[in-house]
Amino acid sequence: MKHARMALLFLFAAGAVLAEAPKVLAVRNARIVTASGPAIERGTVVVRGGLIEAVGASVAIPPDAWVIEGAGLTVYPGFTDALSTWGIPKPADGGVARRPAPVARGPEDRPSNTSWVAAQELVHPQDKTIERARNAGFTSAVVFPTTGLFAGQGAWLNMAGEKTGQMLVASPVGQYLSVRTQGFTSFPGSLMGAFAYIRQVYLDADHYRAAKEMHEKNPRGMRRPEYDRALEGVLQSPRALLPAATKVELERMVRFGAELKRPVVLYGGHDAARAMGTIQASAFAVLVSLQWPERAKDANPDIEDSLRTLELREAAPGAPAALAKAGVKFAFYSGGVEKPADVRAAVKKAIDAGLSREEAVKALTAYPAEIYGVADRVGTIEPGKIANLTVVDGDWFQEKAKVRMVIVDGVKYEPVPEAEEKEK
């Protein structure tokens, strides 16, 4: 048995490289957490041509399938990082040597705005973070450019492929916004400047669209609207991602988000329990960062944290449970957590704080798909959906659970021991 698996591993590994992966796969006798209904305690998943063909307790294994013996394994829908930069190479200098931006004198200069940049244009399929993501059990990530106030457009990307085109599942899925300003000599130079700027750009975008439509209808006698790539990017984005971690930020962003008259997704979410009434009323989804706030390792021992800071650290891992209880749609994102073991440990903290395992799985699978409007193709184990699966020895939430393999677009990958991880 073990030999058979090893042999398969060899074949598949080679196959992935040569793009000659078997067309049909079947995992049998495994526990299957479908995320669309109750778990199947002992069942089979059949994958064909990159899609899930069948799933159930008594599914016939097609004669042409490569069979994976799944006893003792759990099959989950492929885990997804709901807001990620995986696959985008980090600048070699850490971004220090960035060209200084020209001084902006107002919103019309479109400062700190690359709204038209699409994540798939920045991703390198060979970036090492992609393999690392697979090793941690992640088959997908919703990748965003994250530099600037209007950083750019996100894409739902599968974490495998020789070319970016093969990785892409959906794009654009949203506009990443931040309110981080740099210095005070260029507009916007303050938090309220950032708000005013974002508000003006959205107003401008609506005006631009109206002008274009009017011109398109009857160009004669109307001066053509001036092309504005920053507004094009905003108009292309189906939703706006707004940063909000603390209670005040969450309440503030709910107010602001409502003004934009567009679908809004909040990211951060740590203080959600204290702002729940407001969040519930807004019907906005919340992406919860798995980078839980904690005391920095090198914190100055003489500096006391405020009680508010201490309370937030204490409360943050409870945010997902509170969101689930309140019926608010939420999903997890790595938020800078990179090591596979740390991702699981972070999710475990949310479970220890009251989140059910079912909800935890959904927050990594079905919910991100729903939030980004791609639940018709990914997020659960159902026939016809993309064959993204995370296969774990035992249960992923157990202390020593190991990711046995991930299947991305129907292609199997096994984690490789990470030498470079160990030395960190």
Partner 1 sequence: MKNVIQLIAVVASAVTVLPGADLVIQNAKILTVTKGSLDGSVRISNGKIADVGQKLMIPAGARVVEAAGKYLMPGIVDCHSHIAADSINEGSVSVSSMVGIEDVLNPEDVDIYRALAGGVTTANILHGSANSIGGKCAVIKLRWGKNVGAMLFEGARPGIKFALGENPKRRGAAPSPGAAALRYPATRMGVEDVIREAFTDARRYQADWKEYESKKSRGERMLPPRRDLKLEPLAEVLEGKRFVHAHCYRADEILMLLRLADEFGFKIRTLQHVLEGYKVTNEIVAHGAGASTFSDWWSYKVEAYDAIPFNATLMHKRGVLVSLNSDSAELMRHLNQEAAKTIKYGGLSEDEALAMVTINPAKQLAIDSRVGSIEAGKDADLVLFDQHPLSNYSKVEKVFVDGELLFDREHDERERVRTQLRKKALEEKQRKTVTSRRPA
The three-state (H, E, C) secondary structure of 25-42, written as one string: EEEEEEEECCCCCCCEEE
Closest contact distance (angstroms) between CB of 400 and partner 1 is 16
Name which of 244 and 411 has its Cβ closer to partner 1: 244
Name which of 42 and 308 has its Cβ closer to partner 1: 308
- Taking the C-alpha atoms of residue 28 and residue 43, their distance in angstroms, rounded to an integer, is 6
Closest contact distance (angstroms) between CB of 88 and partner 1 is 27
Name which of 253 and 411 has its Cβ closer to partner 1: 253
Closest contact distance (angstroms) between CB of 283 and partner 1 is 17
Closest contact distance (angstroms) between CB of 337 and partner 1 is 13
Closest contact distance (angstroms) between CB of 349 and partner 1 is 10
Q: Which residues bind partner 1 (CB under 8 A)?
A: 103-107, 184-193, 195-197, 199-200, 203-204, 207, 210-211, 214, 247-248, 251-252, 255-256, 275, 278, 294-295, 297, 304-308, 310-311, 313-314, 345
Contact 21, 15 (CB under 8 A): yes
Residue 140: beta bridge partners?
Answer: 80, 158
Name which of 93 and 226 has its Cβ closer to partner 1: 226
Name which of 271 and 359 has its Cβ closer to partner 1: 271
Residue 26: beta bridge partners?
Answer: 46, 67
Q: How far is CA 150 from the centre of its chain?
A: 18
Name which of 202 and 267 has its Cβ closer to partner 1: 202
Pairing between strand 155-158 and 150-153? unpaired
Closest contact distance (angstroms) between CB of 108 and partner 1 is 9
Q: Roughly how many angstroms between the first and final C-alpha of the chain, as a whole number? A: 35
- CA separation, residue 274 to residues 241, 270, 315, 393 (Å): 21, 9, 9, 37
**Residue 290: how many CA atoms within 13 Å on its side-chain side?**
27
- Taking the C-alpha atoms of residue 191 and residue 151, their distance in angstroms, rounded to an integer, is 16
